[in-house]
Amino acid sequence: MSAAAPAATGMFDCRDAYVRAVEALAADDPRIVAVVNDSVGSSKLGKFRNLFPDRLINVGIAEQNLVGVGAGLANGGKIPFVSGAACFLTARALEQIKADLVYSNANVKLCGISSGVAYGELGATHHSIEDLAWLRAMRDLVVIVPSDPAETAAAIRAAAAHQGPVFIRISRMPVPGIEHPAPFAIGRAETLRDGSDLTIIATGTLVHRALDAAATLADEGVTARVVNMATIAPLDEDAVLAAARETGAIVTAEEHVVRGGLGGAVAEIVATRHPVPMRILGFDGFQPTGSAEWLMERAHLTAPGIADAARELAARKRG
């Protein structure tokens, strides 16, 4: 655990880490296959196709079939990584995810590419900001939202080793590398910075912004614990309860609507087991057309926005 914000160098596309990890797994395990919905380019699986031409299946723009084919391959002993734009993979194929994968406990790894508002200018139809709420409602589906390339690669390896369905939410928005204090493990949160005045629990592209917010608050005499909640389901309940008991206030931050995602999952635990003041940061609903960064700023999903929420919450706690 670091008392200061972990070092970050450069900005990276987590899709690159994703494909490198899948390629490495496939080189060692002939069961690894990739299934795409006319998304070889956006999923960056062109090299995988060249390396393993008989282990990539392109079903075309047919997301329900995409998931069904993945389930069939799993039933045949393969370990399929089913890759497509998160907005279409989750919304169009939700019934297949429910029945073919989760209900059937199929060993399929869903990779939601370009999640959140990464497709900003294409508008609300291409924003994937409801997916965590839909998917975490299915108890036996593991849901992972990595924060940086290193965690993305580790999540892919963990998903391959896990027996059962997994969803990994992979952003194309550039993020910095983060210093992780412990190896990634499904269902385990990590504390990136300690503090006693409140806790910021963030996931995915909001983690480095939460660290920047905590650094700003520290200069003002407010110490904020920063928790990276990479696994949304199963959630690390112990980390949430420790934050509630030890810091007395929690801000959550996610690239998702404020209903049903990380904030909702944390609130369920806090409300029923150790109530403390909370702020849930996210989108308020459908978003307009605009760049991803503009949409994040509009929703105050920035380091200054997180810091403002933390200040308000710390003042409420003191009052």
- Overall pTM > 0.85: yes
92-133: per-residue pLDDT in tens?
999 999 999 999 999 999 999 999 999 999 999 999 999 999
pLDDT of residue 318: 87
Residue 234 has pLDDT above 80, yes or no: yes
Neighbours of 288 (CB within 10 A): 11
Q: Which residues contact 221 (CB under 8 A, 6 or more apart)?
A: none
Mean pLDDT of the chain: 96
How many percent of the chain have pLDDT more than 70? 97
Q: Which residues contact 82 (CB under 8 A, 6 or more apart)?
A: 34, 35, 36, 66, 67, 69, 70, 89, 108, 109, 110, 111
Question: 190-318: what CATH class?
Answer: alpha beta
pLDDT of residue 85: 96
CA distance 81 to 107: 10
Confidence band of 266 (pLDDT split at 50, 70, 90):
very high
Residue 7 has pLDDT above 90, yes or no: no
Residue 275 has pLDDT above 80, yes or no: yes
Q: CATH 3.40.50.920 in the chain, residues?
A: 190-318
Check if the beta carbon of residue 173 is closer than 8 Å to that of residue 205. yes
CA distance 176 to 80: 29
pLDDT of residue 112: 98
Task: For CA atoms 44, 14, 20, 163, give the dihedral sign.
Answer: negative
Q: Which residues contact 13 (CB under 8 A, 6 or more apart)?
A: 149, 172, 174
How many percent of the chain have pLDDT more than 90? 96
Burial class (CB in 10 A: 0-12, 13-18, 19+), 44: buried
Nearest to 79 by CA among 174, 20, 173, 164: 164
Confidence band of 6 (pLDDT split at 50, 70, 90):
very low
Residue 319 has pLDDT above 60, yes or no: yes
Q: Say which amino acid occupies 56.
A: L
How far, CA to CA in Å, does 62 sit from each of 49, 68, 88?
19, 10, 9
Tokens 């307009």 belong to 288
For the domain made up of 14-170, give the CATH fold: Rossmann fold (3.40.50)
